[in-house]
Structure 1
Amino acid sequence: MRPRELPLRRRLARASVALIYRQAEDGGVELLFIQRARREGDPWSGDMAFPGGRMQPEDATPRAVAERETLEETGVDLTRHGHFQARLSDLVTRQHNRWRPMVVTPYVYEWRGPQAVSPNHEVEQMVWISLDYLAAKENQSRLPWRTPLGTLKLPCCRYQGYCIWGLSYSMLQELLALDVIGH
């Protein structure tokens, strides 16, 4: 199955993220998540996410954005120690401070570099989570989300005190369904 590419994506604001996995010491596979730093006015403050960010004029490609932003946010150098595996489907969200649409493109990498990382001010925590845990039905849950029309119960995965939901959860589900990485 090919990833979905949204028409007109080149005319919209763009962002990219990196889904990074590594072989765990127990022989399994782990996926890297960041917990976003808590900041006033940031609607996703404190949320679990994949490293990434907005495309800048100097970025050659959306994939280069994922690599640059990952290095800036986490110290993980995908150009040196990451092995590109796949591109997932484009998703649409809104820009932080406005209601304009933004296309987010996820890229999957295998990490073969050093374990030491250095998160910057945008990242509160970096967490490696077992892919088997993320795929297990018993770890799936619902997150109540208040809207002016009532409360929605959004699908999520809970791990320790963390909750993976929204775009990150959608990307995770596509990754698991495509079985790009063995687990």
Structure 2
Amino acid sequence: MTAKRRTLTMRPHKLPFRRRLTRASVALIYRHSEDGGVELLFIRRARREGDPWSGDMAFPGGRMQPEDATPRAAAERETFEETGVDLIRHGRFQARLSDLITRHHSRWRPMVVTPYVYEWQGTQAISPNYEVEQAVWISLDYLAAKENQSRLPWRTPMGTVNMPCCRYQDYCIWGLSYSMVQELLALDVIRN
């Protein structure tokens, strides 16, 4: 494969109609651990009545607001609000991953989610707000290992679907978060 072709295949997929839909964005934040490995930050969403993803593992982020100049700015703002992690001051932007489509929490209307990858270069502790039950760093090697991949039975009106997932301790990473991790691992965008 030529260098030009490899670059083309690594470009993120941008949904052509994304500007006409509600937009959200998330931050995939990694850091280098003391043992020389790489860890990725996940949050466990707080449990709330009526939230279909209540208690799920996710990345910090949320919907764009009118004051957000770009989806990336929304990811930075939401990350700071949810975790206290200041990506503007202590994060190094690495890459934009592909748009994903989901739905609003309480509605069936589609929403486009855009993931952004950052290297964390700060030293501050994470201070989750009311939207976050817990924050956890998980080794990228662990997330990539085949023996940690599993299936999650997910009930739908059409029947049960076995969704791919990664299990870590009592956490289960699945859905959009799992898709984002898989793209991150496939593209190898993390820099030393």
Q: Would the TM-score normalized by the shorter structure come out above 0.5? A: yes
Output one character per residue of 1:91-130: Cα deviation in whole Å (capped at 9) or x when no partner. 0000111100000000000000014121100000000000
Do residues 27 (structure 1) and 39 (structure 2) align? no
Q: CA deviation at 1:182?
A: 5.4
Normalized against structure 2, the TM-score is what?
0.94
Match of 1:128 in 2: 137
Change (3 A) 1:78 1:182: closer
The one-letter amino acid paired with 1:125 is: Q
More displaced, 114-123 or 60-69? 114-123
Q: CA deviation at 1:148?
A: 2.0
Q: CA RMSD in A?
A: 0.9
Output one character per residue of 1:71-96: Cα deviation in whole Å (capped at 9) or x when no partner. 00000000000000000000000011
CA distance in 2, matches of 1:27, 1:2: 28
Does the residue aligned with 1:96 lie in a helix, a strand or coil? coil
Does the residue aligned with 2:151 lie in a helix, a strand or coil? strand
CA distance in 2, matches of 1:149, 1:10: 30
CA distance in 2, matches of 1:115, 1:174: 28
More displaced, 28-37 or 109-118? 109-118
The one-letter amino acid paired with 1:106 is: P
Does the residue aligned with 1:121 lie in a helix, a strand or coil? coil
Does the residue aligned with 2:68 lie in a helix, a strand or coil? coil
Q: How does 1:99-114 map to 2 (within 5 A)?
A: 99-114=108-123
Q: How does 1:1-183 map to 2 (within 5 A)?
A: 1-181=10-190
The one-letter amino acid paired with 1:164 is: I
Output one character per residue of 1:12-53: Cα deviation in whole Å (capped at 9) or x when no partner. 000000000000011100000000000000000000000000
CA distance in 2, matches of 1:27, 1:136: 17
Does the residue aligned with 1:171 lie in a helix, a strand or coil? helix
- Gaps spanning 5+ residues in structure 1: where? none
CA distance in 2, matches of 1:178, 1:115: 28
Normalized against structure 1, the TM-score is what?
0.98
More displaced, 71-80 or 111-120? 111-120
Give the 4+ runs in structure 1 shifted more than 4 A. Answer: none
